[in-house]
Amino acid sequence: MQIITNPVEMRAWSERTRRAGQKLALVPTMGYFHEGHLSLMRFAVARADSLVVSIFVNPIQFAAGEDLKSYPSNRQRDRKLATTNGVNILFCPDLALMYPENFQTTVTVTGVSDSLCGRSRPGHFAGVATVVAKLFNIVRPDLAIFGEKDFQQLAVIRTLVRDLNLDIVILGHPIVREADGLAMSSRNIYLSSQQRQAAPALAHSLKHAGSMVKRGERRPDVLRPKVAAILTSAGLEPEYIEFVDESNLKPVTAVGINTILALAAHCGSTRLIDNCRFG
């Protein structure tokens, strides 16, 4: 495995690889790998000839007061895990090369970025869309893989690719969970032992809602309080509990096969997200 830090060198490697007729996959990350990241890598390896995994903690997607400075990092461990999971290039771009002095261009994807996490994290998805557009332009992948845990981010990227006519296939990968149901996240490390015991309430509430839907309940106004009760009884503070259409993230009046139940809740000072599809 090779490590590249310069975008110019990354693009040159990519061009050589594409000229050789190889299909190129990209998995964008902020590092601190867990099994969720590794499953994306293995998913990509099965669908491409070469795999680039980027590690870049993108400052413009963090709002004031968020965890930019404390975001977990272990690059040595990440390198070892990337090597053993089929990664050809670990792209760790230098911040000054990604955002040089007087950088002033952003990419904004309206509509799908306005609701859910977009309400409480203004500017976050513009930061995500901007850095992903830059990564696509630098790496020039044939396909890119994103986890479905952040379903709104996936929707933003799909909309970006569609609207800008980018020749990239975007694939989502199912959420990877701990044995007790908690969706894997690098930020789970922030949880105290007591909070870690409470955090699986998100997954439990999704499962409970799914059971109610299977029994015939379709009304979000009936389902939402049941989900909230499970979260609050575990000591979590719900931020949103939304039933939305998976294609546009707009609220639905009745749960159907294309409905996503998306959650955000605070467990202490840690913000957790999760979702499920009813189809």
Angle of helix 201-214 versus helix 220-233 axis, rounded to 10: 150
Q: How far apart are CA 248 and CA 32, in angstroms?
A: 30
For domain 2-173, say whether CATH 3.40.50.620 is its number. yes
For 19, the token pair is: 């000229």
Residue 102 β-bridge partners: none
Looking at residue 145, what DSSP letter applies?
Answer: E
3-state secondary structure of 263: strand
Q: How far apart are CA 131 and CA 103, in angstroms?
A: 12
190-222 residue pLDDT tens: 999 999 999 999 999 999 999 999 999 999 999
Cβ proximity of 242 and 115 under 8 Å: yes
Q: What does the pLDDT read at residue 9?
A: 98
9-18 residue pLDDT tens: 999 999 999 9
Residue 264 β-bridge partners: 240, 273
Those residues of the chain that have pLDDT short of 50 are: none
Q: What residue segments make up the domains of the chain, in order of their start?
A: 2-173, 186-277
Q: How far apart are CA 266 and CA 244, in angstroms?
A: 21
Q: What does the pLDDT read at residue 279?
A: 80
Give yes or no: 34 in active site. no
Q: How far apart are CA 249 and CA 264, in angstroms?
A: 15
Q: Tell me which architecture the domain covering 186-277 has in CATH.
A: 2-Layer Sandwich (3.30)
Catalytic residue from among 37, 124, 173, 266: 37
β-pairing verdict for 24-29 and 2-4: unpaired
